[in-house]
Structure 1
Amino acid sequence: MRTRLRRLVVTAVALLTAATTLPGAAADERSAGRHEHPSHGGLSAVIRYTEYGIPHILAEDYANLGFGTGWAQAEDQVCTLADGFVTVRGERSRYFGADAVSDLSLSSAATNLSSDLYFQGVRRSGTVERLLAEPAPRGPSRDSEELMRGFAAGYNAWLEQNRITDPACRGAAWVRPVTSLDVAVRGFALSVLGGQGRAVDGITAARPPAGNAAAAPGPDAESAARAARELFAADGADMGSNAVAFGGRTTADGRGLLLGNPHYPWHGGRRFWQSQQTIPGRLDVAGGSLLGSATVSIGHNAHVAWSHTVATGVPLNLHQLALDPADPTVYLVDGRRERMTKRSVTVPVKDGAPVTRTQWWTRYGPVVTSLGASLPLPWTATAAYALNDPNAANLRASDTALGFGRARGTGDVLDSLRRTQGLPWVNTIAADSRGRTLFTQSQVLPRITDELAGRCSTPLGRATYPSSGVAVLDGSRGDCAPGRDRDAVQPGIFGPARMPTLEDAPYAENSNDSAWLANADRPLTGYERVFGTVGTQRSMRTRGAIEDVAAMAGRGGLTVRDLQRQQFADRVPAGDLAAADAARACAALPGGAATDSKGGAVDVREACGVLARWDRTVDTGSRGALLFDRFWRALTRTVPSDRLWKVPFSPAEPVRTPHTLDTAAPGFATALADAVGELRAADIPLDARLGEHQFVVRGGKRIPVGGGTESLGVWNKVEPVWDPAGGGYTEVTTGSSYIQAVGWDGSRCPVARTLLTYSQSADPASRHHADQTRLFSGERWVTSRFCERDIRASPALRVVRVRER
């Protein structure tokens, strides 16, 4: 294998000796004397860059592969990476101040102080070190540990040998070398993002009640159920996704197809970064990695392609504690007293005194006084709430990803999930070259069965569990703790046999609703409520997606080109259902006027024609899309979903219902008047092309952006920021990110088209800062260069040998 690697390296370097770019020789003065060598020295890799700055990393083993990955990520994203490492070291307050808004990429903390208190607690308790010490499969494998060790070394070597040009962190004292533990803690932060990460403020703010303090009122069951439902609703999340796998019976050549369209943040530490990783004879995988991760998260190899969608499973539960009336830091389990564990944490603060706070932990997890911003959980003299997050014992996601990268088919993908059980909050959709498909909601969830919830729910839990899947269990009873499945790798979680799974369907699709309608003709049922719902109304995006992919599967003869067309069809399901009714009702308004929310009369006659002529898409050239978008947002904000449609939802027709807009509903005319008035106030024509007023600015130039918001139901989802003074939607916060359309044609090379919507580099000076964003604007794709002959044929090929000093 080493001989083959050397042969590949020598060949690649010989091809472009004159064009080869070597690492900078000057060391970063700020790192002098402080450089750590988690690799123990001597690591190296070859990085071959092709079009759009995509690196193909070639190494002889996992430590060296991690080294090349850490180096290449730093080359493109050093400031974003460094900012994330400041977060997981618990040092944001030290450098940016305690009260500043925290980086929300790695937790939900509202301030730097809250973030630091949490992550310092993680570091000082040795949580991640204990997980690293667990033997595989409960802990990470040797290969995963070597990747993390190499990643830290590669990142550090890049810092030592290069100067930072990105103004976001050029010359900043907080850009420092990292250790492999820093890389592992970053992985831990991603793992608990849906559990402890949601409750950071509630964990760090928890205080025992003072002796003479009045008892705080407990949470109202109805409002708590609503808050929990909103907290875990996919529509309100900053991450979502679509993915579909087509089986061989639907394709032109009998092989599988996969279209992955994850909706992730366009800024910060949860961005994807694209690469290919190769260890000859052991691993060859391409795709998108979450920043700071040394493995490919969503991608393909020569045999199989996969994507993920954020799942509906609730990865946490609460335990209501019965406290000793004489001491609120003592709780009772089966009549026996147990004292909470104190974790005192001190955080350095810029321009201020250090802050010391105490966190309180129980056998179930940390005491919390809130879950999200709208669900208070008061700690009284007699009751408190503890958070159970089984992903706080899960550092296995990298091994799951490695298993995918080595897979030769969807069966191997499923085997990797069953063996490692490492995915915390996503579904998996996959297709392979033999024409097989897979959907599975294989995620780490607390083992909350419906029977357990029925037997052990508190009054609060009896409201929250049915509506949201958030269980609140009686913590005073030992028999109310989550049980263990025999095939589970850790106590308190569901084993693989309980996971909703669909194999070899003609299509398998998910758009962030539950597993129920992964294929509308083969609905999945029988899973516990904590996984999601059955027989409930689907989101507009799910309905539109199932309509589209079912029609595609029905036509048959599909190719990668059909996947590409689906990604940029930009059909608006809400528009298909409502625009014509809205236009007719608009034309019928007396005098062509409607009253806005401020009580003013607005002439809406022009809007009627614009809505009638609109092509029902959100392409950049679409006229009327912006008007419908602003109208639909206003309408769905003010009119309850059960009043929006004349024909209600029916489980017997879950894709077609509800339908027929109720234009007589209170709020219809007001929403129309508000939208018209809003655009006119911003000096935006009602029939303006969408791309003239939905764009991002890169290098001082506007780049039009197609796609639409969640409530419109568009496959190509974007969540833009409205700035009427700036001309409309002037930035995107989240949406389509690392997109891939993958198939096979019988050769050894997969047929893959990819697109990283926000481009590879965060550095404004990089030529790869906006190049793929312009492709996204023009609905164009990158042709993946996976096989050796294709990499060598790249007209942009640049070969770099990177090594430690």
Structure 2
Amino acid sequence: MTIGIRPAALKYLLACAVTAALVGCHKPASNEATASNERYNVNIRWTAHGVPHIKAEDWGSLGYGLAYAVATDAVCTLAREFVNVRGEQSKFFGPEEGRLEADIFHKSVITDEALAHADARIPSEMAALQQGYIAGYNRYLTDHGGEQLPASCRNQPWVRPIDASDMARMGIGVGIRYGVGRSPAAIANAAPPDKNQQVTLAPPALPLDVTMMGSNAIAFGKGATTNGKGLMLGNPHYPWSGGSRFHMAHLTIPDQVDVMGVGLITTPFIGIGFNQDVAWTHTVSTGLRFTLYELKLDPKDPLSYRYGDGTRKLTPRTVSVEVRQPDGSIETAERTTYHSHFGPVLEDPDLPWTRERAYAIRDSNLDNNRSSEQYLKFAKARNVDELLEALQTSQGTAWVNTIAADRHGKALYADLSVVPNVDEAMIKACSSANVQRWGPWRVVVLRGEPDCEWRNDERAQQKGILTPELQPHLLRDDYVTNSNDSYWLSNPQQPLEGYSPIIGPERTERSLRTRAGLVMVNEVLQAKQSNRFDAQRLQDLLFSHRNFSAELVLDDVLTVCRRESKTVSVEASNVDVRKTCEVLAGWDRRQNVTSRGAQVWTEAWPLMSATPDLWKVPFDVKDPVGTPRQINVDDAKVRKAVMKALATATKKLTDAQIPLDAPWGEVQYTERNGEKIGIPGGAHATGMFSMIGAQLQPGKGYTPIITGNSWIQVVTWTDAGELDARGLLTYSQSEEADSPFAVDQTRLYSTGQWLHLPFTQAEIAADTARSIDLKGS
């Protein structure tokens, strides 16, 4: 049923009765004169599962409708993210759990100068869209007073209108998450040593960033598809909660733009998606977004550092943060951060600030103001060649690979993201010998000298970053793929080599997830018959939920089970692994909700894989997809380690009250409003292409889901060139328990179903569940 909100009073009352709980109602214009003065005019039609199709005649109205639609599903999440980038978490939620450090970080890094720079290169269309977005978000708050908001933010003072500075802060915050955004506490807590101690107290440890977990993408060209059209799988692995969730939408301005897909809740446009001619997706790339600089300090002044023949002063920035006290009162705290000309100084146990040295971080994306320009070009592209040109002329993708296919049958891989212009020679000549690693991250630490400054290239869109000519891309008629390893094996038939190591490693062992994807693709393409892909076959590739490490070595593990004693000592206990071996022998080596035994392998394989000399056939650069392989079962130490891993997994699961042979969907699940929904897929570490990340909770299982399969799209074209798009948002449109769209798509994911995504006006009209016309100023 289509419900329209129109000026007629009767239709208005009927629409309010039906849709108030979902999108709210507003009083229509009382006369035509009022309507003619309204700046924004947009129609939103929601199809099945709460997917909004937003149609307008201008960019401001499009943004107005998009914000209203996003807020309909995610107003509390979005409002909380605005609090974060404003540096106001401590005011509303208290200083605990790193919130004070996050506030200090955001206030000291996102300066007025940074905000002005962020606005300097926004295309006029996107500037109008953002203005409309601000008005649309504020309109939603007007239409939905405190009591009408979802339970998680109902009547909360931190849900308030936004302005242009909020949008700019949000854009900067998203761009820097893989640079300075990795280290808010280290920047907030950095302080010079006092006169009586050589090293300051260590700040909190660097947190685990769940958004680092990765993604998959495969794009096929005409040589690999049944009908010679392009075909693409987009499978980002991103968090299931918070501001990094995706939101589905379809944006249309007749004769200007018609694009569908998802954006992060915190980004006001489509980031991964498709139009009538081309589809694209992203995976987080291995390229570094920053380098650390080691500053040699003046022995007499820990706030001065040597630079060339001279000395430069660190610049202090003092910020004020409002902090909620235990009694609910608010006090103002002042904190000072320190900044070199490279960037802010940071300090943690790996990077101490001593009397001899300190460390600063330079983030390439602090100067990247081209993201909106980039995605506007993506939305309007007509083929992968135009996508490639867009990447080369904007260089606005902050930290991702781009993988795409078009209806003409061409596939593209590109890591044309924002990367410091640092080559191998500079790394060798300038690297510090004092720091080898920074927490869990690969890092380049350069000496803070003039010769170690990032190189400027006039061909690049920004000072100090690599020009597109020095970055990898590949156009193919068969396929390209990426699963978060470097660009090297985007297609093993044409390895990409000779690039700066700051982008990523070459001729090195690939992850099991990367190998799994390549193996599954080539199983089809190298078959004697039925050796082409169509949309269903590509969907099945992902939803087979095959465990690659088990396919690779489980037979060897079972051989060890048969040879060795079934009683193994673990932590002063004797563990009987007979049932463990029996369960693994009966496991289907998949992680469907019906698979039994996946939990044993989930716990055991990471322990086995760390065994020295595990592999009988080690990695061979001449066979990077096929190696390493086979467990070295003739080595007694390896056999002992395998049995120890099985016993340790058995004890852990038994202690956690998790049956070894329980169906996977009873062990890994999400829980919404008391309903348990089994979730297929599994851990990256075990070689699961279909990736889901969750920690084992004693007495419960692998729940809640932290990250993994999120937005999934398979896009192709029919023989006649018409768009055929399927997709699914695994965690559904809203994370609000009181939303009707909090769990519906999750049930589909659990049972292996996909949505057909209506794109044409006729398809939308046939599937519209409700509709509103919004007008506003």
Using structure 2 for the length normalisation, give the TM-score: 0.91
Alignment counterpart, residue 148 of structure 1, candidates 104, 127, 130 = 130
Tell whether 2:344 aligns with 1:366.
yes
Contact map agreement 1:749 1:786 (CA 8 A) in 2 = no
**C-alpha displacement of 1:21:** 4.8
Tell whether 2:49 aligns with 1:76.
no
Which residue number corresponds to residue 222 of structure 1? none
Determine the C-alpha separation between the residues in 2 that align with 1:723 and 1:195.
31
Contact map agreement 1:165 1:765 (CA 8 A) in 2 = no
Determine the C-alpha separation between the residues in 2 that align with 1:262 and 1:464.
27
Alignment counterpart, residue 331 of structure 2, candidates 329, 349, 353 = 353
Determine the C-alpha separation between the residues in 2 that align with 1:621 and 1:252.
31
What are the within-5 Å matches in structure 2 for residues 769-788 of structure 1? 769-788=742-761
Tell whether 2:26 aligns with 1:52.
no
What are the within-5 Å matches in structure 2 for residues 278-357 of structure 1? 278-351=252-325, 353-357=331-335
Which residue number corresponds to residue 480 of structure 1? 452
Which residue number corresponds to residue 203 of structure 1? 187
Determine the C-alpha separation between the residues in 1 that align with 2:408 and 2:13.
40
> Secondary structure in 2 aligned to 1:320?
strand
**C-alpha displacement of 1:179:** 0.9
**C-alpha displacement of 1:192:** 0.5
Alignment counterpart, residue 120 of structure 1, candidates 107, 117, 120 = 107
**C-alpha displacement of 1:349:** 0.4
Which residue number corresponds to residue 31 of structure 2? none
**Aligned CA distance change for structure 1 residues 517 and 505 (closer, same or farther; 3 Å):** farther
**C-alpha displacement of 1:168:** 1.1
**C-alpha displacement of 1:550:** 2.2
> Secondary structure in 2 aligned to 1:249?
helix
> Secondary structure in 2 aligned to 1:529?
coil
What are the within-5 Å matches in structure 2 for residues 497-646 of structure 1? 497-555=469-527, 556-590=531-565, 592-596=566-570, 598-636=571-609, 639-640=610-611, 642-646=612-616
**Aligned CA distance change for structure 1 residues 630 and 457 (closer, same or farther; 3 Å):** closer
Contact map agreement 1:749 1:787 (CA 8 A) in 2 = no
Determine the C-alpha separation between the residues in 2 that align with 1:369 and 1:697.
39
Alignment counterpart, residue 624 of structure 2, candidates 644, 650, 654 = 654
**C-alpha displacement of 1:748:** 5.6
Contact map agreement 1:469 1:530 (CA 8 A) in 2 = no
**C-alpha displacement of 1:685:** 3.0
Identity %: 37
Determine the C-alpha separation between the residues in 1 that align with 2:185 and 2:651.
39
Contact map agreement 1:183 1:292 (CA 8 A) in 2 = no
Contact map agreement 1:582 1:611 (CA 8 A) in 2 = no
**C-alpha displacement of 1:26:** 7.1
What are the within-5 Å matches in structure 2 for residues 721-800 of structure 1? 721-726=695-700, 728-747=701-720, 749-794=722-767, 796-800=768-772
> Secondary structure in 1 aligned to 2:551?
helix
Which residue number corresponds to residue 701 of structure 1? 675
**C-alpha displacement of 1:470:** 2.3
> Secondary structure in 2 aligned to 1:650?
coil
Contact map agreement 2:151 2:738 (CA 8 A) in 1 = no
**C-alpha displacement of 1:505:** 4.4
* 2:40 maps to amino acid: L
Determine the C-alpha separation between the residues in 2 that align with 1:21 and 1:686.
47
Contact map agreement 1:488 1:494 (CA 8 A) in 2 = yes
* 1:85 maps to amino acid: F
> Secondary structure in 2 aligned to 1:126?
helix
| Residues 49-58 or 756-765, more deviating | 756-765
Which residue number corresponds to residue 32 of structure 1? none
Q: Which runs of 5+ in 2 are unaligned?
A: 28-36
**C-alpha displacement of 1:71:** 0.6
Q: Deviations over 1:54-102 (max 9, x none)?
A: 0000111221111111110000001100110000110000001112x2x
Q: Deviations over 1:342-395 (max 9, x none)?
A: 11001000025321111111111111113xxxx621112221111110100112
Determine the C-alpha separation between the residues in 2 that align with 1:464 and 1:527.
22
Contact map agreement 1:595 1:669 (CA 8 A) in 2 = no
* 2:142 maps to amino acid: E
> Secondary structure in 1 aligned to 2:523?
helix
Q: Deviations over 1:106-165 (max 9, x none)?
A: xxxxx1101100112234443122331x2xxxx222222222221111111001012434
**C-alpha displacement of 1:196:** 0.6
**C-alpha displacement of 1:763:** 1.9
Which residue number corresponds to residue 189 of structure 1? 173
Which residue number corresponds to residue 3 of structure 1? none
Which residue number corresponds to residue 221 of structure 2? 247
Contact map agreement 2:211 2:239 (CA 8 A) in 1 = no
Determine the C-alpha separation between the residues in 2 that align with 1:787 and 1:748.
13
Determine the C-alpha separation between the residues in 2 that align with 1:687 and 1:66.
51
Which residue number corresponds to residue 242 of structure 2? 268
> Secondary structure in 2 aligned to 1:530?
coil
* 1:353 maps to amino acid: E
Determine the C-alpha separation between the residues in 1 that align with 2:117 and 2:418.
19
Determine the C-alpha separation between the residues in 1 that align with 2:343 and 2:553.
47
Contact map agreement 1:593 1:602 (CA 8 A) in 2 = yes
Q: Deviations over 1:187-221 (max 9, x none)?
A: 11110000010121111111111123225799xxx
Determine the C-alpha separation between the residues in 1 that align with 2:359 and 2:650.
48
Contact map agreement 2:90 2:100 (CA 8 A) in 1 = yes
Determine the C-alpha separation between the residues in 2 that align with 1:464 and 1:411.
39
> Secondary structure in 2 aligned to 1:376?
coil
* 1:208 maps to amino acid: P
> Secondary structure in 2 aligned to 1:365?
coil
* 2:137 maps to amino acid: Y
Using structure 1 for the length normalisation, give the TM-score: 0.88
* 1:211 maps to amino acid: K
Determine the C-alpha separation between the residues in 1 that align with 2:455 and 2:359.
19
Contact map agreement 2:193 2:200 (CA 8 A) in 1 = no
Alignment counterpart, residue 158 of structure 2, candidates 152, 157, 174 = 174
> Secondary structure in 2 aligned to 1:732?
coil
Determine the C-alpha separation between the residues in 1 that align with 2:341 and 2:61.
40
Determine the C-alpha separation between the residues in 1 that align with 2:656 and 2:192.
51
Which residue number corresponds to residue 490 of structure 1? 462
**Aligned CA distance change for structure 1 residues 793 and 25 (closer, same or farther; 3 Å):** closer
Contact map agreement 1:309 1:512 (CA 8 A) in 2 = yes
Q: Deviations over 1:226-270 (max 9, x none)?
A: x99x989xxx86431000001101111111100010000000000
* Root mean square deviation, CA, Å: 2.6
Which residue number corresponds to residue 224 of structure 1? none
Q: Deviations over 1:272-299 (max 9, x none)?
A: 0001000111100000110121110100
Q: Deviations over 1:647-681 (max 9, x none)?
A: 21111111111111245425322221122223333
Determine the C-alpha separation between the residues in 1 that align with 2:239 and 2:397.
19
Which residue number corresponds to residue 413 of structure 1? 387
**Aligned CA distance change for structure 1 residues 505 and 203 (closer, same or farther; 3 Å):** farther
**Aligned CA distance change for structure 1 residues 45 and 500 (closer, same or farther; 3 Å):** same
Determine the C-alpha separation between the residues in 2 that align with 1:197 and 1:343.
18
Determine the C-alpha separation between the residues in 2 that align with 1:317 and 1:127.
19
Q: How many residues align?
A: 743
**Aligned CA distance change for structure 1 residues 48 and 231 (closer, same or farther; 3 Å):** closer
Tell whether 2:419 aligns with 1:445.
yes
Determine the C-alpha separation between the residues in 2 that align with 1:117 and 1:615.
51
> Secondary structure in 2 aligned to 1:313?
coil
Determine the C-alpha separation between the residues in 2 that align with 1:244 and 1:280.
30
**Aligned CA distance change for structure 1 residues 119 and 242 (closer, same or farther; 3 Å):** same
**C-alpha displacement of 1:502:** 0.7
Determine the C-alpha separation between the residues in 2 that align with 1:335 and 1:296.
49
* 1:59 maps to amino acid: A
> Secondary structure in 2 aligned to 1:286?
strand
